[in-house]
């Protein structure tokens, strides 16, 4: 297995080394650097046994890398209030409504919101103040993660447009 250049261990070793591309001659440096990156991605696809011609190759490699980088990146169970696919968008819209909500008088904002927006909360599987508080916390966290991901994507695309990567 170690003699096979495409074996997992050989690929892992090759992927963990930097690709060295000499600067000179400068006239074809860009092409040589691009070739090194293409070869690196070919090795990544081979390592995860993904067909490099597959239209879903990038999504599949993203899943592999996410599972490797975050070992607890898996679904063990879910509740409707936690953001099941059928309620996730509703909870995000509910968070916008909750943030704009001004309760009249004293008391808990969560209880007042639950009372005034009972139908929307019930549609999201939220029936008590504690569940509403947890759902709003998760929705805020998800919003922050989405904003970070969008910012990273914009930075990456800007770097690509400027020729940095």
- Angle (nearest 5°) at CA 5 between 2 and 44: 110
Query: Are 55 and 118 members of one domain?
Result: no
Is residue 3 domain-resident? no
Query: Are 61 and 85 members of one domain?
Result: no
CA distance 121 to 134: 13
Average pLDDT over residues 149-162: 82
Query: Are 88 and 59 members of one domain?
Result: no
pLDDT at 63 over 80: yes
Query: Are 19 and 58 members of one domain?
Result: yes
Is residue 165 domain-resident? no
Residue 76 DSSP code: -
SS3 of 3-35:
CCCCCHHHHHHHHCCCCCCCCCCHHHHHHHHHH
pLDDT at 21 over 80: yes
Q: In the prediction, which pLDDT does 136 show?
A: 92
What lies within 8 Å, CB to CB, of 64 at 6+ separation is 48, 50
Q: In the prediction, which pLDDT does 2 show?
A: 43
Assign 3-state DSSP to the chain and report helix, strand, coil percentages, each to 5. 65, 0, 35
Q: What is the pLDDT of residues 96-140, one digit of tens each?
A: 999 999 888 778 899 999 999 999 888 888 989 999 999 999 889
CA distance 87 to 90: 5
Tokens of 67: 């599972």
Is residue 69 domain-resident? yes
Query: Which residue among 28, 49, 74 closes a domain?
Result: 74
Query: Are 13 and 51 members of one domain?
Result: yes
Is residue 91 domain-resident? yes
Query: Are 102 and 121 members of one domain?
Result: yes
Query: Are 136 and 117 members of one domain?
Result: yes
Query: Are 103 and 61 members of one domain?
Result: no
Is residue 162 domain-resident? no
Query: Are 67 and 84 members of one domain?
Result: no
99 closest CA partner among 91, 107, 24: 91
Query: Are 88 and 69 members of one domain?
Result: no
Average pLDDT over residues 49-76: 83
Alpha-carbon dihedral sign for residues 118, 120, 121, 125 = positive
Is residue 143 domain-resident? yes
What's the structural domain count of the chain?
2
> Containing domain of residue 138, as a range?
80-152
């Amino acid at each position: 297995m170690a003699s096979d250049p495409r074996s997992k261990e050989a690929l892992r070793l090759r992927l963990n080394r930097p690709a060295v591309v000499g600067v000179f001659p400068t006239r074809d440096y860009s092409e040589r650097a691009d070739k090194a990156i293409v070869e690196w991605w070919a090795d990544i696809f081979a390592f995860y046994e993904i067909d490099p011609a597959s239209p879903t190759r990038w999504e599949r490699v993203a899943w592999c890398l996410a599972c490797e980088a975050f070992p607890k990146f898996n679904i063990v169970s879910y509740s409707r209030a936690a953001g099941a696919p059928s309620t996730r968008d509703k909870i995000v819209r509910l968070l916008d409504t909750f943030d704009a909500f001004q309760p009249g008088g004293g008391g808990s904002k969560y209880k007042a919101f639950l009372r005034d927006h009972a139908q929307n909360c019930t549609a999201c599987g939220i029936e008590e103040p504690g569940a509403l508080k947890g759902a709003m916390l998760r929705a805020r966290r998800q919003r922050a993660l989405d904003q970070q991901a969008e910012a990273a994507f914009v930075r990456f695309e800007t770097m690509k447009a400027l020729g940095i990567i």
